[in-house]
Amino acid sequence: MGRYIRKRIVMMFFLLIGMTFIVFASLYLAPGDPAEIAAGPSATVEEVERMRVYLGLDRPFFVQYFTYLTNLFKGDLGTSLITRQPIRDELAVRLPNTLNLAVASMIFASAIGIPLGIIAAINKDSWIDNTLTTLSLAGISIPNFWLGSILIITFCVQLGWFPTGGMDAPFWTAHGFKQAVLPALSLGMQVAAGFTRIGRSSMLEVMQSDYIRTARSKGVAENRVIWIHALRNALIPIITQMGTSFGGLLGGAIVTEQVFAVNGIGSYLMNAISQRNYYAVQSTVLVIAFMFVVVNLIVDLLYSVIDPRIRYE
């Protein structure tokens, strides 16, 4: 088990190095000139050239990349071309908000999506199943920015139950909960619907399996068959889905944070892109990739908790 984790961490390290290269290279190839942005709109040609030398942009690609890598190892994510502040500090302020939103959405999606999938499976082909399958199809198809706007109009503007936006406290506090409900709902809806669908199909498959027949032939009560014998087996593909949907949540957060005025790394990235703040884009993408990789490592560890076949390998 310890060996497995070590192996995964080493692999994760190389994955992230590869990631830095892709991010760096794609911004290097992207049209536009960071020196021009940094020097400002009124700068002369000489000033832009001086800025280029100052930023090291006149050096060969690989020299620039290795400088960037060594800086990364020192914990330096670069300086914002617009604010001249360290990007690390700017992200550090915003990251907790995004994580808060993503985790709240994931909890909402799991708490609603997985049980509904299981309920649909054990009531296969009944009206309950048909309703849930239709609803989950709707849930997957609704774009989250649209859902967000509708939620704001209904619950904030007309009913006044929740604040229209902002996020300055974690979701487990009363104040933070009120702020997180609507963004988590709009961001988590697609993921929840995805869980319902995969939960249903995975549960149906497990209920067909030989060991479920064995359990039934032993005279085990149907509730026990479902919750003890079937559920854990059905969770394995759902957990895989959790890992990949977390990436989707981080991607969706870029839009949702805009809609709900959350000061997170999603809206930061959005601004950085529109301002052509190259280094900020680079570092934010890298941070998102890093979180995605870490979450998937956690998912792999979760597998081994559930599945002894992985634990004993």
Footprint of other proteins (CB under 8 A): 209-211, 213-222, 228-229, 232-233, 306-309, 312
Closest to other proteins by CB, 4 vs 28, is 4
DSSP three-state, residue 86: strand
Nearest approach, Cβ of 233 to other proteins (angstroms)? 6
Other beta carbons within 10 Å of 69 = 14
Burial (Cβ within 10 Å: 0-12, 13-18, ≥19) of residue 136: buried
In the bound complex, what is the minimum distance in angstroms from residue 232's beta carbon to other proteins?
Answer: 5
CB of 310 to other proteins, least distance (A): 10
Q: Please answer whether residues 268 and 284 qualify as being in contact, where contact means their C-beta atoms are separated by less than 8 angstroms.
A: yes
Minimum gap (Å) between residue 110 Cβ and other proteins: 19
CA pair distance 191, 172, nearest whole angstrom: 21
Distance of closest approach, residue 307 Cβ to other proteins, in angstroms: 6
For 57, the token pair is 């942009």
User: Which residue is associated with the tokens 């959405």?
Assistant: 105
The span from the CA of 140 to the CA of 171, in Å, is 24
Which residue number, 42 or 217, has a Cβ lying nearer to other proteins? 217
**Identity of the residue, 198 or 215, whose beta carbon is nearer to other proteins in the bound complex:** 215
When the beta carbons of 50 and 216 are compared against other proteins, the nearer one is 216
Closer of 103 and 310 to other proteins (Cβ): 310
**Contact (CB, 8 A) for 158 and 78:** no
